[in-house]
Each structure stands twice: as C-alpha cells, then as structure tokens.
Structure 1
C-alpha cells in the first residue's frame, strides 16, 4: 500500500514538473519574442525546433539589375540605326563618300523616322548602352537636317531692279507646254530650262520672241539640250563642259553685268557618282572663277543642300540658296511622278548680290520636276 502511494506521488510530481517546464519554456519564448519585436526583429523556427531572429534586410544593398529582354528588338534597333548613323556621320564630315551615301543623303530628313523607332525599340530592351547609342544617332540625324546657311555678306545697297526667275526641268521636253503656260502667267525676266530638246527650244524661242528675245542654249535631244531665256541682252556666252547642256552668259540688268549660269549635272545614280561629283566640281570652278559682282546660278543640280558637292558650290561662289534666304528650305521639287509625293529639293536658284522677296514651286504636268519661281531684287553697291 505504501509502495503504491509512493509511486502515485512520484508520478504526480513528475507531471507537475513537466508542466512547469513547459510553462517556463512558453514564458521564455513569449518574452524572447517580445524582446525581438521591440528591436524590429522576427523569430522564425529552425530545423532543430528552436527559434531565432531573422536577419535584417540591408537598406544599402543595390537591387539586382534589370535583365535585358526582347533580343530580336535589340537586333532590329541596331539595324534601324545603321543607315541614319552612316548618313549623319557623312553629313557631319562634309563628304558625299560613295554609293549608297549620295543617294541616301537625299532622304536625310526622313531618316529621323527609323532613328526614332530604333530608340523606342532600344528602350524596350532595357539595354542601356544600346539606348544611349540610339539617342546619339537620333540627335545627330536631327541636327543634320537643320537647313544649311553659309556665312555670306548680305547686300544692303538700294534695289536697282526687280527680277523674276523660273527654273524648270521639262523631262525630255514633255513639260514644254506646261512651262509655256507658267511663263505667260508669271512673266519672268529669266528662264532656265533643262532637258529642253530641239522641239522644246524651237517652241520657247518662237512663243516668247518678244518677251524673252535673248537666249543662250545647248542643242541636243532628250536630256542633253538646255536653254536660258532672257529679257535682258546676253553676251559672253560660255558653256560648262558636261554630259548635259549647261550654258551661261552675262546679262545686262539695269546697267549692271550679272553672270547667269544654268546647271544640269548627271544624277548620282550607282555607277556614275564619280561623274556626278566631277560635273558639280566644274560648276564650282566656274563660279569661283567668275568676276566679282552679282550672279545667278539656277537649274536642276541633281543635289540637295545635304550634299557636300552642292555646299561646295555655295562656298566657292559666295552664293546663297534663294529658298533658304526666303525661309522656304526643303521645298520638294522631285519626283512628281510615281506613288510617292516629292520628297527632295534638287532644283535651286542661287544668288549673289540679290535680295530675295519670295520663293515658291509650280507643278509642271508632263515633267517629273516642279518648277521653282524666285522673286529677287538686284542690289547696288553699299
């Protein structure tokens, strides 16, 4: 009986001890949790059944970099940037280089579109270097499209005479009738006509025998023929040697000798870029060798202001593009035939010692060019 009581007493004591131990552990755990909570820590269980504080997050740690994505977009952005980057670089270096650069320079303002699309694609890929390069390419392309204006002395003398000029390419003579209508309507004093074949020449000389009785011409069929019609007497005829006719002369305007020159070099199509450069170089040499004084150079230059060979002519003769002076840069004159509207100005009127009152273009049905009309004032000495 005593043994049974003793065993029961021992079991009861052991149970109480176990309960106390569990209660003590629970109390300790509660106190530890409260202590860690006061320090901003959390408790998490570990594999051995014990709990410990979780490590604090380091606020100075750098977040992981964004992972590049869309690899095909990155390739597309690079391809879209290639042409604008090449053309903008050649424009900045003042060179026409070789095919396909001269042809692509005619599209320079439009190359901001693929450059802008390349930037959007580069940004989507999250590639920082590619995005930075695309920003540079877009900026360079946009800078290159700013209208060119050479430094020149603007004449301030009194106006001596008002002169209206028309320059037109009549495309193998097909636009002769349209040009004749424009001349009747506009009543210019000087008309520069490219691709004027023998029939075109005969029609214009006969039709305007009274209004424009003086002329200098190069006879030829197809694109070779050209004629310069004038209401002023012409002397000192000179022709710039070229595949297509480029006649010139000296006009007497209000008693002042004015050198007038028609230009029509070969176009820069693949395979004849060297010839195009050579013929524009001859125009440059001719205007550089001309005597000081007023000058008019007009025609189909087959070059835009973005071509280095064209800008070299301006610099050599101290000339300025009348359209630029009239704040009408990039008046598109070609091509008027085909699915696309005209997108480049290759027909120009260049002036020296003239002020410009206005420049506009006229459609010429039958021709793939628009005509350029410039209203000018011949200025006397300052």
Structure 2
C-alpha cells in the first residue's frame, strides 16, 4: 500500500506589529518632539566629529550641556504618545548629548617634580575698562603674581600700572581703545616680549620664576558672531600654532617642554574643537578642569540671560593646581578666574 505524503504547512516568521496611526493631537506632539531633538542631535554630532562646523554650530556648542533639557523633554513626549521609533531616537540623542557634555581633558600622563614656587594668576576681561576698579580691588585683596587683563584701554593700563607699581612692576601690553587693549602684569622680570597677531591685543613674554623660564601668553580672539565665525577660527588657530610652536621649540632643547601659562578670554569653551586643539597642541591643561570646575560659567554676567558658559581660562603646563575661584567684577560682563598654582620642577 502506497504511503500518502502530506506537506507540512509553511510557518511564517511573526511580523512586527506596526505602530497604530497617530491621532491628530499626537501628531502635533510627535512633530514637537522631533523639533526638540533637531538641535541637540546636530550639536552632539559635531561634538562627536570634533568639528565646530560653521554658524550657527559654534554658537550652539556654547549651550551643549543645557541641550540635554530639550532632548529629555522630547523623550518624555515620545514616550507619552507611545511612538517606539521616536522614543528610541530620543534616547539616542539624549545619551549622545549627555556623553558629549562630559568635561574634556587631554589624554596625557602628568608627572610633576618638586614644587618650586607658588604662583597666583588672575585672568580678567574688564569689558571696555568698565571693570578696572573692581579688578584693582581683587588684585589688592588676592595679591597675585601674574594678572592677564583684556579689554584694557590706556586709562585702565595707567590705573593698574600706577596702583601696583611696587607689587607688579613688570608688564607687556598692546595699546588700544575699546576691546583692543590688553596688558599682562607681572611681579617677575619679563623678557622676550611678543604678540600673537589678531583683531584684539594678545601680548606675551617670558618670565623667570624660581630660576625657571616660563612662557606667558595673554589671549583674546574675536567672539564667534555669525558673521565672524571664520575669523574666530583663524585667530584660535593662531593661538594653537603658537602653543604647538612653543612646545616644539622647548622639546628640541635639552630641557624638554618649558612651563607655560596661557590665559585670558578665549571666547571658546571646552566644547569647541578649536579650544581643545590648543590644549592638545601645547600639551596644556585647563586649570579649571584640574580643579573639577570646568562647567562653572564665566559669561554673560550682564543682560537677560544667566551665565551659561565658561570662556575665560587659565591653561597651564608644568603647574599643579591648588585652587580655582571665579570672582564677580562690577562693571564687567565676565567673571575673573583666579588660579592658585604651584610651579613644578623637572620630572
């Protein structure tokens, strides 16, 4: 008797259940969530790609940590209306934004020698010299050995050099009105004065501290206004070139890398690729980052917005950091940065 063969039914794999159509009011919520995700996604992508791109990205990068707020709100809206794909996208953007906001530190092994000298540094933008009196009170109270002052005109320069002729008798400056003038005041003798070319004054010099030659440089590139973004990049690139050249010159000598201090109003935060490039090129550390205060805002101290970004920095090489404080200056839209440092000997 012949065996009758019957075919087994073909079992199809289960298909994913499609998301139900959106109700009209949920459609509006989904669009709102998508719009909230757009800026955080763009900025987090540029941060991950290590680029400042072009306007408005440099301006938006200044808000990077705060962009977790719209990303988190978008996630909440997507979850409320039950859209799986949108919720997943919101999770990715929120995680990427939060990851991008982690404080930056160059990947370098730091080994210091014995402390040679304690050095207090103040970096202050006095906003068209309007904060000169407040800065004078800070210098009188804190007694720093180095003071980097941006937006310091002739009147500001004369006031500071006369008031602190005994404490800070040495200086290097670029004269100019408005935001152009800058001055570096020092209790140590200065030599090898120089400037980094730029729209605003960026004087520098070499100081001898405890028998060690220390490179000092004041910086003040233009702000990244939408119509000046390319100029902002070029001036930060000039600072990067200075940092790289100084490091290369020092490496070529028998003494290795020379200690360095680069301070002032960078008009850039750690979230800008151009600022991180300066750190990497010069083997520099941000004193605020070493003191775990790299998210303390220094600008703007005036106007309708609360301070939201740190653009004033003290960068160091071969210095350890005791303390960093941020001081309000009446008349200025910037906080001053006070860094209490130790100059270290050879490794």
Q: How much has 1:68 moved relative to structure 2?
A: 3.6
For residues 322 and 105 of structure 1, the distance between their equivalents in structure 2, rounded to whole angstroms, comes to: 21
Larger radius of gyration: 1
Q: Deviations over 1:147-183 (max 9, x none)?
A: 0011123132100000000000000000000000000
Could you say what secondary structure the match of 2:298 adopts?
coil
Higher relative contact order (CA closer than 8 Å, sequence separation 6+): 2
CA contact (8 A) 2:19 2:83 kept: no
1:93 and 2:58 correspond: no
**1:1-382 to 2 correspondences below 5 Å:** 67-69=21-23, 70-290=26-246, 291=250, 292-382=257-347
Distance in 1 of aligned mates of 2:79 and 2:21: 13
Q: Deviations over 1:26-58 (max 9, x none)?
A: xxxxxxxxxxxxxxxxxxxxxxxxxxxxxxxxx
* Cα deviations by residue, 1:260-302 (Å, 9 ceiling, x for unpaired): 0000000000111000000000000011111221000000000
How many Å apart are 1:329 and its aligned residue?
A: 1.3
Aligned equivalent of 1:56: none
The change in CA–CA distance for 1:176 and 1:74 in structure 2 (over 3 A counts) is same
- Cα contact 2:125–2:336 (8 A) shared by 1: yes
Q: Quote the Cα distance in structure 2 between the aligned partners of 1:284 and 1:170.
A: 24
Report the Cα distance in structure 2 between the residues aligned to 1:227 and 1:62, rounded to whole angstroms: 68
RMSD after superposition? 1.4
Report the number of matched residues: 323
- Counterparts of 1:85 and 1:228 in 2: how far apart (Å)? 41
Contact 1:87 1:104 in 2 (8 A): yes
Secondary structure at 1:79 match in 2: helix
Tell me the TM-score normalized by structure 1: 0.83
Q: Match of 1:271, SS?
A: helix
- Superposition misfits of 4+ residues, deviation over 6 angstroms: 60-64
Instruction: Report the TM-score, using the length of structure 2 for normalisation.
Output: 0.91
Residue 66 (structure 1) shift: 5.0
